[in-house]
Amino acid sequence: MATLYDVSGLTDERMRRMSPGNHGKLPPVDLTGLPPGPRWPVLVQTAGLLRFRHRFHPYMRRKYGDAFTVRLAPGGRPLVFFTRPEHAKEIFAGDPEVFHAGKANGILGPIMGEHSLLLQDGAEHKRARKLLMPAFNGHALREYQDLVTEVARAEVVGWRDGEQFRALDRMNALTLEVILRVVFGVTDERRLAALRPRVHKTVNISPAILLGWGYPWLQKYGPWKATVDNQRELDRLMYAEIRERRTAPDLAERTDVLSRLILQGEGADRLDDTELRDQLVTLLLAGHETTASALAWALHELGRDPALLARCQQAATTGDADGDELLEAVLKESMRLHPIIPMVVRTLMKPATIAGWDLPAGTTVGPSIIIAHQREDNHPDPEVFRPERFVGQNPPPNTWIPFGGGVRRCIGAGFSLMEGVAILREVLTAYDVSAVGPDEPKVRNITSVPRHGARIRVTAR
C-alpha cells in the first residue's frame, strides 16, 4: 500500500485500481430487449462514438429513431441513447441509487481518482457534493469574479492591434490561468511554470488514450506511458501544494477553492489529501477546456455578426445586469450550437423503464446533448446562432443540458458562466473581433473543440 508521501506509488495504485476493467464489475446485459442499433464490430462503434460523434449521433437517430443502442469497448457493453426532453427528464429524475453516474464515467477514473465527484455515487457523492457546494455558492462566485477579471485583463492587454490568432489557444491559456490561480490558489510564478505544462498534457489527450485505460498493458508503451509519467509528476506537484497549504498561516483568509475545501467539514468529515487531489483534478478537467472551447466559439460567432458584436460591446461597456445577461446568453448559445460534451450518462444498478423500454441492470443510458441541442422542436432554426433564446427566458426544460441535470448537475456551472462573462467583458471592451475563415467541431478527448481553433482577428477599439 502506497503512503501519502510515496506519490509515484499513489499514482500507480490509482491507475491500477481505477482501470475500467477493475472498477465496479457490472452484470452481463441481455441485448435482445434493448432499442435497435448498428451491428458493426464493437471497436468500430466505439471509434464512431468517440471520434466522429457530431455525425454519429445524428446518423443513429435518423436510422434508428429517438432511442438507439451502441456497444462499446472493452467487452461490448451497451450504451442506450435517448433524444427527447421527456426521456432526459426520466433519466435526470431517476433514483440516484439506481441511476449511477460514477460507473458510467469510469473511463475517467485513472486520471480523476476514486474520490472524484464525477465518479462517486450514493452516500459518498452526497457527502462530497455537500463539502464542495460552499466553494461554488453565490457569495463565493462574487469573490472569485474580481480575480477572474484581473487574470483576463492581464491576458487581453498583451494582444496586438490587428493580430490574428486561434481563439481556442488564447482561451485555453486564459482559463488554465484561472484554474491555477482561482481554484488551486497558486500565485508563485515558479510553481505556475511547473504546473502549466503538466496540466496541459493532462487535458490534451486523445480518445485513443482514454480507450487505452481498458487495456492496462498499454501503459508501458508510447503515448500511454507518457501519460502515466505526466500523471506522476502532476500528482507530485499537487500533493506538495496541498500539504503546504494546510499549514499556511493565512489559510483562513484565503478565498481560492483549494483553501475553502481544506477548511470545509469537521473531524473525520474533512477531505483528506487524496480526496482534495481527486476533486481538484476533476474541477480542472471539467472546467478548463470546456469553458475555453465555449468562449472560443462565442468569439468566432460574434466575429461573424457585426450587429450582434456591436450590441455585445455596448453590453460589456455598461457592465450592468442587463449587459451581463446578454453576454451570458452569448455563452449559453455557444454551448448550445457547439456542444462541448456529447452526452450525459448513467448506469442502471437495477432494472428500469425509460421511454417505454424495459432495460436490465448493467445498461448504461443517457440523453444525447448533441441531439437535444439541434432538434428543431427544441430550438427553432437550430443551426442559427441566436443568443436571444436565453435573454429574459430559458428554453423548455431538458432541451439545453450542457451541465447535465438532476442531482448530478455540474457543481461548477455557475462558476463557468461567471468566468465566461467576465472574460467576454474584458475582450469586448478592448477589441473589435472578426472571424477568419469557417470552422467545425473536432474531437479532442471527452470534449469537442473548434477544428481550426476558431481563428479571429482583433482590432483595438
pLDDT above 50: residue 1: no
pLDDT at 11: 87
Considering only CA atoms, which of 212, 233, 202 is closest in space to residue 12? 233
In three-state secondary structure terms, 459 is: strand
Calculate mean pLDDT across residues 386-395: 95
Phi and psi torsions of 115, nearest 5°:
-90, 0
| Strand (E) or helix (H) holding 273 | helix 273-287
Average pLDDT of the chain, as a whole number? 92
Higher pLDDT residue, 219 or 54?
54
What digits encode the pLDDT tens for the residues 3-59? Answer: 455 788 888 888 888 877 665 567 789 889 999 999 999 999 999 998 899 999 999
Domain membership of residue 444 as a residue range: 7-460
Residue 447 Cα distances to 52, 62, 291, 343, 433, angstroms: 12, 23, 11, 10, 25
Calculate mean pLDDT across residues 248-268: 90
pLDDT above 50: residue 2: no
pLDDT at 300: 98
Identify whether 167 is part of a domain.
yes
pLDDT at 286: 84
- CATH number at 373 reads 1.10.630.10
What digits encode the pLDDT tens for the residues 355-369? Answer: 999 999 999 999 999
Calculate mean pLDDT across residues 202-220: 77
pLDDT at 266: 74
In three-state secondary structure terms, 77 is: strand
pLDDT at 192: 93
- Strands 364-367, 77-82: parallel, antiparallel or unpaired by DSSP? parallel
Identify whether 2 is part of a domain.
no
pLDDT at 221: 87
Identify whether 17 is part of a domain.
yes
| Strand (E) or helix (H) holding 457 | strand 455-460
Identify whether 1 is part of a domain.
no
Calculate mean pLDDT across residues 147-168: 97
pLDDT at 5: 58
Work out the pLDDT band at 85, boundaries 50, 70, 90: very high
Identify whether 60 is part of a domain.
yes
pLDDT at 18: 83
Higher pLDDT residue, 386 or 22?
386
Within 8 A by CB and 6+ apart from 130, the residues are none
| Total of domains in the chain | 1
pLDDT at 3: 47
Tracing cell 463565493 back to the chain, one arrives at 140
Q: What is the DSSP letter of 395?
A: P
| Lowest mean pLDDT, pick from 12-26, 241-255, 323-337, 380-394 | 12-26
Identify whether 204 is part of a domain.
yes
Identify whether 51 is part of a domain.
yes
Contact 458, 432 (CB under 8 A): yes
Contact 341, 295 (CB under 8 A): no
Tracing cell 441531439 back to the chain, one arrives at 371
pLDDT above 50: residue 454: yes
pLDDT above 50: residue 207: yes
Identify whether 213 is part of a domain.
yes
In three-state secondary structure terms, 382 is: coil
What digits encode the pLDDT tens for the residues 285-343? Answer: 888 889 999 999 999 999 999 999 999 999 999 988 999 999 999 999 999 999 999 99
pLDDT at 277: 95
Work out the pLDDT band at 145, boundaries 50, 70, 90: very high
Relative orientation angle of helices 306-318 and 321-337, to the nearest 10 degrees: 140
Considering only CA atoms, which of 286, 232, 261, 276 is closest in space to residue 101? 286
pLDDT above 90: residue 403: yes
